[in-house]
Structure 1
Amino acid sequence: MRKTTYLVLIFTLLLAGFPNHEYVQAADAGTKSGSLAIPITTGLTGASNSAKSFLLDLPSGVASATVLQNTLKYTGNNEKVGNLSIENGKIKLTLKGTANKKVIDDVQGFNASYDRKYNTKIYNSIWLYSDGRRWQINEYDENNNAMKHKDKPAEDGYPSHDPPLTVVTAGPLQDSSYLKWYNGSVSEVIDSQDIINSSIRPVLTSYSDYVKDEPKFKNGRVIINYYIPNSVPYEPEDKEGLSGKAEGRKYFANVSYYYEAKANVTTYSYGGNITFDYSLPTEPTLNGTATLEKPSPNPSKLEGNKVEVKINVKGDLLGYTDASNIEEWVFYAKEKGKTSADMKKDYNKVLATSKSFDFEIPAVKIKNDLFRQDYSLTVVVRFKKPVPTKSGSITSLEQNMEVTARAYIVHDPVVTYPTVPSTPTKPEGKPPIARISAPKFVKAGNDMLVNGGASSDPDGYITDYAWGTHGAQGEIGNTSRGYIWYTREQVGQTFPIALTVVDNDGLIGSTSTEVTVIEPTPDASLQINGSLKQNRKTTLINSSQSPTRFPIIKEKTRVTLSAISGGTNADIKYVGSLAELESKDVLFKKPGKYRATIHVENTAGYGADSEITFDIAPDELPFAYFNIPGKVYRDPSNWNKAVVSIDDMSFSPDKDNIGRRIWQYRYDSNNNGSFTDEGWVTFNDENKSRLNLELYQVGRYEIRLTVIEEFGQATIEDFVTDNDRQRNNSDNTQNVIERIVEVNNRAPEVDWDL
């Protein structure tokens, strides 16, 4: 019974001597802080647009499931509507706009829907007299704002077949029925009550190629001068009640236009930052993201019989490193509401991968001004062997997402002309496909890369690029890519970017996108690199940025470092000051949580602030441990010496180096079973990890090892001393029974000789 109790006591002591490192690591993992900037935007108008919702992508490496929702916080000048939330893997925030009165130039007026032009349906009536020799020309007189007519003799024989070549004037009334106002996009509607009526003016966009001079607007009409006959389509006039050779014809002219005006509107601005805390993944976490690559822009105008949709779905496995245990990645995509889905797989042993899915929205679906199609996406990762987690073993992880594609249709008026026979031309090849890559928002004064390099030709190659960058500074020229920028006065405006490409067959393809100019604010940012551990060198880096033409004023940069918990401000060490900081080496004497803040200003007069919080880990004690035999014997052939072989197995739990080892022993000289009345003798301090101890006297010896660390990471020598090097000895980390060796005499050999 006594023996059993003794063994249990030894086992308990052994457990007490080893710290629970797994628990310490989990506690140290804790949380980190993250932040997102809301792009400063302006230009939404009308009371119905005063609230705007944002869906913001989380920073790379942060899974939505790890965000602590009760830490989500908005800071900025806008009033928050409702609570921040996580929706489809993104942070959702609704802000009430900051209202300002503003006059917007050049808002566009279209016929009932965005980009639908007004189109004349006018014709001039030309009559052949019954004598077959004269033509009556009826036309509009712009000077008297009335109709008039004149006679002209036939020039092609008797009876005449066509009127003589002449220029006639038409004056249809300007059409403003169903007039609807927009500020550069289908989604930004201007209330008609905000339009300054005195500023309304028509803008000519196109006209028939047989028009003599560019049409003009006068007397509330569209003044058109055009040639007849000149391959001009016509329809016959009604001949009821007429006789002989009398004949009437309707000769058509076509002109398209829209309206521009100034609007005195209430605009709303939005901006600010979102901060949050998130848990560092300590077990496998799947982060899925879905990105709508087409249509671009979204919403996109219907061109042809469909709108192409392309969605990229990405899976990122966080908190897991064993890629060899991944069996497969599976991706699903479908139109929301449908039961069948497209599926793609990836069998590569990777921790992150993606697949793209192609859909289309047929024209028959786009029956209104703005059609939306929702898509459901799923990414799944499956493991070969079950993976243990806190809640049990898992064999797979799954993440669901949604994206929305939008499209709109432009209802162009239909003008019907009589069929004119023509000789069809044989197509010489397939037209090229133009593609533009450009950001949706750009800060005033900042260079923006516009790239058409993804354009292609299915049966040849592209020879020319023609860019339209209305309002932009700089030119791209006849190249596939280039940089442009916008001025500060253009903030809040949206500008088109158009590209036409020509292939080796002379065929063309065109596309367009839009960019909105936002305020030239700087982005304040700090980074901290290095070993985030006490008494180690860390580097604070100013990573702030500002638009190219409005650089940050170095003299106005302000940086502060402060302790939040654990240490004090006196424990923060660096040389010099933090003024005008670009980078600075810093050392923290105590573990704890610290904060760094930065304020920057640029030459445009805008300022920005940012802060980061970070944890400085403690410098952990080394673990002293060695192995010796429990008994050794004196060897008569070796001067009665007993040799104790010692192997050191000490280590540093936080990857520091063992810089010094001091070996000592003490001898139970009075054989009373206690070492407390004995003194220590140092027998080696040469930092040896394997050595022999030679002993002469029979009895019990206790051995002690003291280990002293040397920094395993860079430090700043001016701020550390020898006392900052962590040390420990085997008295604290190893059971006493394992540190005692007993020296005995070898028993004599007996030979019985009968």
Structure 2
Amino acid sequence: MKKLISIILLISFLIPISTAKANTNLQNTYHVKEYTSDDEQQIEIIIDWPTEAGMIIPTGYSFKGKGNLTSFKPDTNTRTIKVVIAGEKKSVTELVKGYQNVMNGKGLTFNKLPGNAFCRYSDGVKWQINSFSVDTKSQSRKDYFREASASLPTIYPPYSQMTEIVGYMDINLNNHQAVWISNLGKIVDPKNIKRNSIIIPPKSHSSSFKSYTALGLSDYNPTNPRLALQYKAEHFDFGPQNQIPASNPAFYTGHAQCYGYPFNLQYYLQAEAEYDVYNYGGTITFNYAKVATSYIAGEMKPDPVSQRFEGKEVKVKVTISAEITDIKDPGAISHYEIYLNNELGDKMYEEKNILANGNMKISRTFDFVIPTSRMTNKDSHDEVFVGRVRAHFKKSSYYVDPTYGHYMDTGRIYASTTVYKEAPPAPPAKGMGPVAIIDAPSEVMLGDDVTINGSRSYDPDGTIEKYVWNTPNAIGDMTDMPSGEIYFTKLGPQKIQLCVWDNDGERDCAQHSLVVTEPFVRANVFQSGTLKENRKVTFAEFSFTSSRYPVIDSKTRWAIKPRYEEIPQSSIKYSGSLDGKNKFDVLFKQPGEYVVTLSVENTAGYTDSTSRIVTIQPDLPPVTVLSAESMIEYRDPKYMNKAKFILRDNSYSPDGDIIAWGRWYVIFDANNDGIFSEQRVLIYEGDAKEVVYYADHVGKYRFHKETIEEFGQETIPAFVTAADRRRSHTWD
């Protein structure tokens, strides 16, 4: 088993258990189901952050179980934790099986074609079958007769009568190569096999024949096995390659001829394997801090707001205050910090470490002086004050703010005092101040980026000079920007505020209400490839979810099954496990309807499933069309007194596949009876569209062709054989 597969399997066994205490660490415990590997000295596990976690405490973890936790690395970008566990090493001995090959974790048995001699007597009617006697451990013979209506000589023996043929094959286990598989379906390295323990268990062999019995000989030796099989003979057309030459040519008189009849023999090996395994399993516990859903809002009030200039400095008291809302545990706040200064920066106040003592409100008043120099050559002056308030969480609370981490911040708060000489500045004419306009959706999913736009704000008699946004429970840099993107960290009704200032210093504010919905996930399947049997089809997970709560690949589950029972599950071919894959290739061995189901879960813990029906079309065989330039030819001296036949192939594929190969045959009507019961003779094999045949006998000839297709669309080579290439011929 490869390492990636093991990781996916392990993650699929993780079961979260959450506990929380006020003002203490929050803990998550993940159970890793017990697991044994014979090739992984260590495994890597990817654990998802708890939904409410703002940060993982990098030193607050432990592991109890089989193996040792060697690495624990939280990743704030992917909101995952990469864990490495070194396995608990143990030496084991077990019985394993050896096969010729492996497909989809299943062993493919060795296939051999030993044979029995089937001999036709010289009379052309009677057949003698050489079988094997289990009792005497020697050859035995039995005669069979074809029906009287059979033409002479008979081409094949009376198969329907031949029900108890016995054949055998001796298997040499010295240096016998095999692919070894453990009981868990894993491939075992040949170096771990005890060579002197290799056997073929008694009566474990089989055959592809429909009717057979695996025989156990009384002197059977599993380390030097003779595999005997009793079978019912199935129809087989003998060809020249099956003829058995006689040691004495005089033996074959009349219609006498012996053929080798191949019967299928299948077997597997068994042996002991010694190797090291690595055991895993236990619990991983770690501490985390949750995201604070509370927020802090502030305001600032100057006193006076405006004052007539009387030739002396103006004293102003500025009160800055803030309040924390939606906090479940007031005791989690440690202290406040207050920062306040005038915009020109010549007066600054800082007050830190103001103990909260459970108070969710804070207020302080500071003295400022507007010097007379501010009014030089001016009729009026606006003294602008800028402040902010921060609330720090206690370290023991393990809360984190999604924007600032260990504290909450009001952001910059503005206020101003106007000083004038003769009279207060006249208010602008009605309708001449700026107009703030917010364009934003009325509904957005938690964690999704949303564009908020104030670009349509305007000033009837001037220009917009400044934009100030207030976006509680949202994250995003909107400083002095007319538009931008934010995302919300809290569910439910929310408000956005925009204040704009024009070139005359006038201000207008607008509010926009929206609702933040739960970050649901909607499963969606993307499909590509060709919907035809023995062609590659690709399915991919393409679900819709919040960008900050993506689908968890390790929890993705696929299922494919036939829609109706007449199609077996084995007709669906793919590699490995589908669990944890966001994309995979599959091949369907039979046409029909199949149901593909996808189940997903996102990092917010929401799940969804979807199913679709795919219809696999049949792969149609080619249409074989054969023509000749002329139906009658004469022997010609320039062709060594032979007749020349020019044959042309006009075969085609009705469903767009490739005509790749062909076999051309001829039958000579030797007895001129017009039946053409004689053996077909191969005259050409290849991809030519035209074949020339020279005939040297006077008489009738019949030409046939077998046409073989190649796939016209992409397939999966591991799951197709030569038999899957569609073919047709002209002799039916």
Per the normalisation by structure 1, the TM-score is 0.35
Per the normalisation by structure 2, the TM-score is 0.36
